[in-house]
Structure 1
Amino acid sequence: MDKKIFLDGHIDVPEDRLAAVTAALPLHIELTRAEPGCLSFSVTLSNDVAGRFLVSEVFTDQAAFDHHQARTKASAWFKVTEGIPRDYVIRQED
C-alpha cells in the first residue's frame, strides 16, 4: 500500500516581497488542491512571526507529491517565491 506524504513547515517572506507573495497565494492554493492525490493543503500567515507562512500538505503517495513538486517548479508561485528560504519537514505515513 502506498504511504501518504506529509509536509509541514514554513516560509519566511521578506517584507519587500510580502505583497507579491500574498497576491500569488490564492491561485497556488487553488491549483494545488485541484491536483490528483492532494488530500489537504494549507498556507496560513503566522500570528507570531511577521512574514511567516505556515505550510501543511498531505498527498496520497510519493507520486502525487512528486507531481506537485514538478508542477510548482513550473508555476508563477515558484517565480514569486524564488530564493526565499523554506523550512520544511517531509515524512511518510508510518
Structure 2
Amino acid sequence: MDNKTGRVRLSGFLRCSSMSDVQIVKHHLPEHLRLTSAEPGCLSFDVSQTDDPLVWRVEERFVDRTAFDFHQQRTRASGWFTATSAIARDYTISGLEQNEQE
C-alpha cells in the first residue's frame, strides 16, 4: 500500500522569539516526538534546530488525511501544544487536496 497521492506532508519552521522559548521546545520535544512517532499512520516526524538557534525545522509525513487529522487533534490536547502555543509556526501542508477528492 504505497499510495503516494494519499500522503500528507507538513513542512516548515517553529520560530522561537527568545532563548526561553528554545528551552521550552527542548524540554517538551522528546515526549512530543515519542508520542507522534507512535501514532498510527505516522511515516516520519522530525523537528530539528537549524543554524539559527531560535528556528526549528519541522518535517512530518502521514499516510493519509485521517492519520494527519488524528495527529492534529492529539497534539492540540497535549502538553506540547499548551507549552508551545505562543511560539510562531510557519508551515506548508501538502496532500490534503488529493484526499479531499477521494
Tell me what 1:31 maps to.
35
CA distance in 2, matches of 1:16, 1:40: 27
Tell me what 1:13 maps to.
16
User: What is the aligned-residue RMSD (CA, Å)?
Assistant: 1.6
Range 65-74 or range 11-20, more displaced: 11-20
Tell me what 2:48 maps to.
44
> Percent identity at matched positions?
41
The normalised TM-score by structure 1 is 0.92
Deviation at 1:50, TM superposition (A): 2.6
Q: What stretches of structure 1 move > 4 A for 4+ residues in a row?
A: none
Gaps of 5+ in 1: none
Count of residues paired in the alignment: 93
Contact 2:11 2:60 in 1 (8 A): yes
Structure in which a larger fraction of residues adopt helix: 2
Gaps of 5+ in 2: none
The normalised TM-score by structure 2 is 0.85
